[in-house]
Structure 1
């Protein structure tokens, strides 16, 4: 498996797999505007790195948007923090390490960029993702939770990247 930046000829496939991954979650799948945003890989790739995990045959297994600091696609991070969004793995690739590889790539980029933390927001129902984040050193950060509509919220997670004394 290789993690790299997406190529323009992969954008349509990435959009389709991202929308499919989020379709099963009412908080995302019932919002046509958000589903359109998930499919529009070209728009996010124009302003942020879109990373893909590809298998040995070059098939796209999953993708993520790395948000290295303030600006487009930034949600809850502070000035010296990074985040990632729209992590998705194709159905056929689940359980093969693509989600972990993409998350590790974001951790590595944030660390290389001198960021103090890598933060994210996730749907409460994405329990497999929560387990992955915790395995990789993220902690639940309730102070970062975001209620995007009354009664509907995203859960905050944070990975401290500050140098240890």
Structure 2
């Protein structure tokens, strides 16, 4: 079940985000700094909409949808809505939760009459990146590395 974020969800989505990224620890040059930033995921509710996935009353995933004109990193076109911080609890993977959360972001972009939606990700995300490509996202350019890990920008046309 997907629903909108409530402030009481902050601790649970932070736990899920930290668990979701744990497997990537060897790749980042400053893991404590990276995890400190991941733990700020609830702050994305200030500039966007966080969507929460629940299974049996337990939060198992979340994603932030940042609308077209909301503040976002400069490597994104300001006219694009952006998908940020898609996270799924490792214990709940393989159930299509990441796809459902991404599809909900696509619905919100269409609701907002956006022509495209963007995200940035890295090849080390060997499940997420192929999913985005299957869903029609295309790599359009580089994004700044994050603590030694290469990232790129991907866009899906909605027009």
TM-score by length of 2: 0.87
Q: Distance in 2 between matches of 1:59 and 1:150?
A: 32
Q: Which residue of 1 aligns with 2:54?
A: 54
Indicate if the aligned counterparts of 2:47 and 2:66 stay in contact, CA closer than 8 A: no
Q: Distance in 1 between matches of 2:111 and 2:9?
A: 26
Q: How many angstroms does 1:29 deviate by?
A: 7.9
Gapped regions of structure 1 (runs ≥ 5): none
Indicate if the aligned counterparts of 2:62 and 2:88 stay in contact, CA closer than 8 A: yes
**What value does the CA root-mean-square deviation take over the aligned residues?**
2.1
- 1:29-64 Cα distance to aligned partner (Å, 9 max, x none): 833233112112432222221111112x22111011
Moved more, 35-44 or 80-89: 35-44
TM-score by length of 1: 0.85
Higher RCO (C-alpha under 8 Å, 6+ residues apart): 2
- 2:129 equivalent to 1:157: no
Residues 1:28 and 1:71: Cα distance change in structure 2 (over 3 Å): farther
Q: How many angstroms does 1:120 deviate by?
A: 0.8
1:99-118 superposed matches below 5 A:
99-118=98-117
2:144 alignment partner, one of 144, 147, 150: 147
Q: How many angstroms does 1:150 deviate by?
A: 8.8
Q: How many angstroms does 1:12 deviate by?
A: 0.4
